[in-house]
Structure 1
Amino acid sequence: MRDRGIFITALLATAILGGTSGYSQDNLVMNDIAPFVGEDISIEPRLLTVKDVEQELKKKPSFIKSKNDISEEISPLEQMYSARIVADVQQFGYEMFGSKSRPQNSLSRGAAQDNLILSIGDEISVVMRGQKQDSQTTGITSEGMLVIEGLPPIPAAGRMLGDVRAQVKSEVSKLYNTDVFLSLAKISQINVLVLGHVKNPGRQTLTNMDSVLDALMAAGGIDKTGTLRQIRLVRGGKTMLIDLYGLLVYGSDGIDISLRSDDKIIIQPVGPTLAVSGDVKRPGIYEILPALKANWDKPEEKSQKLSMNDLLGLTGGVLSPAAHRFLRMDITDKGTEYIEEVSDPSARIFSDGDILNIVRGKEKREGTVELTGNANQSGIHALADAETLSDLLYDDSVIGPETYPLIGIIEHWNKSSMSKKLTAFMPKTVLNGEDDQKLEDGDKVYLFSQEQIENLGKPDPQALLIEASLGANEPENKTTAIPQNLRQFLIERSVFVRGAVREPGSYPVAEGADLESVLSVAGGASLEGNTRDIEVTSAPTKGSRSERKTYDIASIDPHTIRLTAGDTIRVNQKFRRVEDNHVLLIGEIKNPGTFDLQPGDTLGKLLARAGGITDDAYPDGTIFSRESERKREEMRFKSQAQDLELRLGNMLSQKDEDKKPDPEAITTARQLISQLKQTEALGRITVEADPAMLNSQPQLDILLESGDRIYIPKRPLTVRVAGEVLSPAALQFRSEKKPRDYLNEAGGMSYNADEERAFVVYPDGSAQPLAVSAWNHNAVFVPPGSTIVVPRDPKPLSFIDGAKDISQILANVATAAIFADDIRNDR
């Protein structure tokens, strides 16, 4: 039987040369660097000196790694096993030689232990106290003796520090009333040769306090091509095999042997391996011992055989005590891989190249129910403590704030149909003790918030995500998404509340809901709501038609009026809802401001209420902005922006580079799209605003609507030039001036101007194209208060095939911006 505590096999090897005393340190014969072969290591070697070895190292043989190789690299073994397992797996144990490897030539420090072997050159500090007072430091002589004044020479080299200390105390005890204190003052350095599969092979300078692990750290650690289980320590013609798994797996400290001068450590190629993967605490590739002919009956076997229990011992065991499947993956010499279940955990069937794959069975939770959603005590609950809904929802502290009271859902797994079954209940009646349901093992109870119910009919959160990914704005109200199957279940059980209520909409209900509860979640009847005139239209059922009944809940208890899914409730009005109807009148008005409206109010009446216009007013230039027109104009701008975005996207997706627009054209298109999105809609309509004209021709007096904005400017003496000119300005009006004159006074047209599409906007809002060509002799008259607009040349955007008229879009944007500034600046 193997002893797990000690993983050292001491093999006595005969000396290659009968007498090595004639060889100096430089001529030391290195006869034992040959690979380990079977049980017999006494082979006929080729004689090598240290100098020979150093020359060979410079040649970098194939089994020696370069200094740039690091242990984190994927080794061929890891690649092979990972490909077979289809998961990453690493060689076990090599991480100990990672980034924390000891730098070369760094010496050990710390207090010397009693088991330290002293050697020639060590210095000992000796302090005597008592009748004899003395303090001295003496070295171990070349003869291996410790010479202390007043004491006979004491043999020290090759002995443990504790033994030497005991002998010195014994000698000092012969002196009267004297104590002695002995410690190691200086430790001599030793040279250890580390060869084979290490990162920095060669001679390492260490001390007697260092161990085999220290030497391996100084050499940069063992490569993944080197063995951890058959490390050869050669000392004085004898060889010991060191197995690091004793330390790594079982924590044995007996394997880390102290070094002596001229020790040699040889790291042979990695031996047979196998892998353990899956649900274990320490999956990895493990090295196993080779099969020795003296110990195994079958000479064709190249490695020891281990059982499943042996492998679990290496990995620390399975992750959980649940049921597992244990699969053995075996590959033949022909490359065929077989998989079989392991039935006998103690059978020794695993050998070189095998894989043990451990698959954990899915744990099944029993004896529980789960409360989820808008609840303060969400999570798993023991079924023994929550056998019914009333046990689970025992008071208001269990549910979350603003929990929707009219429906919750119990999700139950139906074993016979192997499907989920959803059952509705009313949290309100459960908390009031009016209703209860029995819960079963594995049930999941959902509670919903008021906000979730409000957003129930809105687009699915997944659709919102897709919309957001396409550049749309994210929704302002982000709520926890309801699973799709539950959403549909809730929508199917909705009742609809309309009319004079504060929050009309659809509200899902469970069986037993009444009119009072539904009206409460809808915020109750509004001020104008008539509780004596509430219509309830029942949904049609099989064999019966829809019915409509009117209820007076002032005389009938609304708790007695039961509702079912699909019913519609309408609260009629007892008077018309009070609305804030007003208009804004600004500019050259004697009493400007906001005025309320009554049905039939006109612009003429409004001007009279405001005290009329001032003497400087210019009614022909009135800007009349109507809310309904503003909304239509705003929608038109958005539609144009979306159309341009779509066309631009199609052009950018072209595979033919020649058809793609240049970067300058793309920038221009994006600027126009941004302008369209940000432009404030004006919604201007042409009206007659002169009070004298309205009195004489009342048919021209326009009826006002709520939201109208009227701006009457001061009588102008200028003509404004805007758009693509070098110096936009308001220029002095003169009757003899032509449009070209005003454009010249504004510095002329810019490089991006569209001269052929220039137009004039008259004071009343009407517009007419300008003919500014030098050949035109019938120039348009431009009255004071007009605005000449030179739009941007649409040629850079001509690549957008199929888009709407770019010229019209550019003109609309320019005009809207100009007159919106007029109104904004006068407020």
Structure 2
Amino acid sequence: MRNLVHKFLIDVKFQKIFFQMLKKYSFLILFFLPSIGHSQSLNEQFLESLPDEIRTDLINATSGNELNEMAQTKDYKSFDSKIEKTLENLNGIERFGDEFFKNSPSTFMPINDPAANSGYILDVDDLLLIQLLGDRSEQYEYRIDRSGNISIRDVGFIKVAGLTLADANKLINSTLGEFFVETEAVLALKEVRDINVLVTGYVEKPGFYILSGYSNIFHAIINSGGISENGSFRNINLFRNGQLLKKIDLYRAFIYGETLLDISLRSGDSIVVEPSNNLVPIIGAVNREAIYEFKEGETVSELISYAGGFSSISNPKMQFSLIREDTDSFKVITSEINNDIQLKQNDKIFVKFKEYLRDNYFLSEEEEFINIPVKVNGAVKYPGEYYIRQDQKLSELITQFGGFKDDAYIYGAALFNDKAKSLEEEYNKRLYNDALKSLASIGSLKTIDNVGILSDLLEEFKKISATGRVITEFSSEKIEINPSLDYRLSPGDEIFVPYKKEIIYVFGEVLNPGTHIFHEDIKINEYIDKSGGLNDYADTASIIIVYPNGSSEKVRLRKFSNNNVNLLSGSVIYIPRDLQRVNGIEIGSVMAPIISSLAISLASLNSISNN
């Protein structure tokens, strides 16, 4: 995510580079414009003198290639593309179940505790402790042999492998009753066997593992590093003797606390974790936002229950919206929980908040759903991300973030919009293409040595990053007087409010471009004088003032006039080159808007940055 503070707060080093760049491109470039000549074909020496990227673009422009088409292409954002863009925000949501294995040790072995659960299933190599009470008071240890038997003195073999500890205790007492009167056996597990289990499929480290006989499915999966990114928590198969013994759903343990102790492992067992394709994110007014796995036939209400149900801030009607992806589009289904809907792969669920809360997640067929926050940074009381509803105005958001700090420069506040950015980028592309086509029509320069500087200008212009700044009103008082000034917010808007600095910037065709302390009573010509005055190439009829709010104005500097221009702190004064005083007017007229656009873009960036 872009950090507006980082983006627009620059240091002294940047200012130095900035002014050097402006000197280079507003003076030196225009100095060489008179040397541009006319030609109907591209000069080979001229082409070789250009940087690779500019040369390629120029050749494409002359061949009617993709560059010309690029200037005519518009990126029309459909309702579907807005949904697709919004769904990118789901990337940060974690899959439910991953946290159970995140902090598990790489190797895990249950403690060999003799106090086994009565449901523990006995098998070969378990060591039993049998204590006889009554007429015979004796204690013996018996290890279960390869046949699954123990051999009790004076009684014989008793097969206990495969029985639970409780069932084995009953069988031993029943058998002893046939040989001894008033004698009772108390059975305990003294030592647990080791088992060899195969864990494979979609786990992090498939392979054979030696585990304690106490181990269950959890222990085996933990030893294998946990379920992999594409593995299923709900479709795990346990095979014994080559046959499917049980299908296991770990959600029973994750959500309902079932310990799965009835699924004891035995040597030779195989655990196979199947892949998972049925994942659905649930966000909004639920108790546990996450990506959940569903089984075929499960419904929205079942998955919401996995998410902990509706939170206390959910809509009283328990409404949700479901985005369903088709082959090349999205379908939005809005419903209440009692109108249950079966889930499909790639569905997304949004649960509605109460009306007065952030309702960016809730969608309907009629409205553009808004689940991208507006970011607010700078000199405001509560910076951060704010979720907006459809048709929400800027004045309401100002109230939400608590208003501005005392030293905020409201007039310099900036709002950035993605749509405005796209239009700005398209405009810059067209300017660039027009300049290339003009160069192609001329084809050469009288002085080839000067091409490098001109191509540098085109390269620099091509690198301009559109900001998408929207000129709007941030003053609550002015908005209250004229509600039409209240900007309607869009998803993804970004707001930066600078701190006030009493500074004026002057650059362009002056002897010493730089920064000056702002005074209300100082006129534009005085600031120019402070910068060393105009040079011989200044265009006094086309001076550009860039104001802190992003707006600009072209003014004429008159000798016998007060030149009353309403300058404000943070304004930029740019004096362009007078293109009409040089030869080669054809190329000059084409390059003029590029130079002006480059200068204004840099001036706007500098104005915002230093505020």
TM-score exceeds 0.5: no
Q: Point out which structure has higher relative CO (alpha carbons under 8 A, 6+ apart).
A: 2
TM-score, normalised with respect to structure 1 = 0.32
TM-score, normalised with respect to structure 2 = 0.42
**Larger helix fraction of residues:** 2
**Which structure has the bigger radius of gyration?**
1
